[in-house]
Amino acid sequence: MATKIDYYAVLEISRDASGDEIKRAYRKLAMQYHPDRNQGDAEAENKFKEINEAYDVLKDDQKRAAYDRFGHAAFEGGGPGHGPGGFDFGGGGLGDIFEQMFGDMMGNRRDSRRSGADLQVQVTITFAEAFTGAKKKITVPTRVICESCDGSGSADKDQQPETCPSCHGAGKVRAQQGFFFVERPCPTCHGSGRLIRNPCKECHGSGTVEKNRSIEVAIPAGVEDGTRIRISGAGEAGGKGVPAGDLYVHVAVESHPIFQRDGANIYCRVPVRMGQAALGTEIEVPVVDGSRTKVKIPAGTQTGEQFRLRGKGFSVLRSSARGDMYIQVVVETPRHLSKRQRELLEEFEDDAAGHAKGSPESTGFFSKVKDFFEGKL
């Protein structure tokens, strides 16, 4: 049997190297000798295996202490690395490269605590409630801590769950396939990381039971349709010692028969009679806060003209400010005229025909039409 090379020499570090120095050396060498970068190079492949074997020992404080004291003899009868196709419960190898480099960023480290499932629910509020803010009671079907076992999952409260001997509490095992690892739930504990010898009859060992729970949700003023509110810890219970998930409340805001909203601004479409628009008038309009305000419509107002009312709009989220309100004028042409109205309008039209300044847009348009037909345009 070939003599094993000193693990410190394999990683090219001193014997008093810190954990961070060991990790940096391993990453550098593993990338350098990775088979994908050295295809067909048997020497690089063997070097890659040595690097993984050395790192698997030196990254673990207990294994490192045993190696420093007894050398390779400390692991005779079953080395720290496992052959292809075997299960690896302690980590190491190419899987650690990716997990250490990207695990923290993805929030997916093996030692991170599990939590209960997140829940989602939708609540519908009125336009007025979106303006003022509201408190809504909702019923959420969820899982809560089992009262019979106090979340332990065991029928005997004095008996604590045991750490799963197969996955050592990780809840998952890794199978090595060539130079890659595939993670799967531990078949012994079904992913829980623990074993319960005498399961609770109420929760069957899970530590949680299904139950409808009432929650009061505070919806802030200024919330928009489609807003998602996160309530930390209001999701499903995760069992004893495991944090609960979160509850996400999706807010749906009902439409309003008078107002249309665009962010913090409100638009109100107001029809006025032809005579009012021509002569000018003053109208009273509602405001979203329940008050009223008067708007002066000047003589000659046309359809589409807007009048801005500052500070009369919608609430601004997390602020005491308010947006603006816009009155959009629509000049309404009368229908179903009485005999008297028709006579007056005919008289008005006869007079208007000789008064071009009264309707400058129509006069200008038909003047251009005339020029078009005469070939001047």
Binding site per annotation, positions for Zn(2+) = 146, 149, 164, 167, 186, 189, 200, 203
**C-alpha span between 86 and 89 (Å, rounded):** 10
Closest CA to 152 of 195, 110, 113: 195
The DSSP element (H or E) to which 248 belongs, if any, is strand 247-253
Cβ burial 308-321 (10 Å sphere, 16+ → b, else e): ebeebbbbebeeee
Our measurement of the distance from residue 315's CA atom to the centroid of its chain's CA atoms, rounded to an integer in Å, reads 24
Which amino acid belongs to residue 113? R
Binding residues are 146, 149, 164, 167, 186, 189, 200, 203
Strand-strand pairing, 292-297 and 281-286:
antiparallel
Dihedral angle sign, alpha carbons of residues 14, 17, 23, 25: negative
CB neighbours of 150 closer than 8 A, spacing ≥ 6?
Answer: 157, 240
Closest CA to 219 of 207, 210, 227: 227
Judge whether 302 and 359 are in contact, CB under 8 Å.
no
**C-alpha span between 175 and 317 (Å, rounded):** 51
Phi, psi of 139 (to 5 degrees): -105, 125
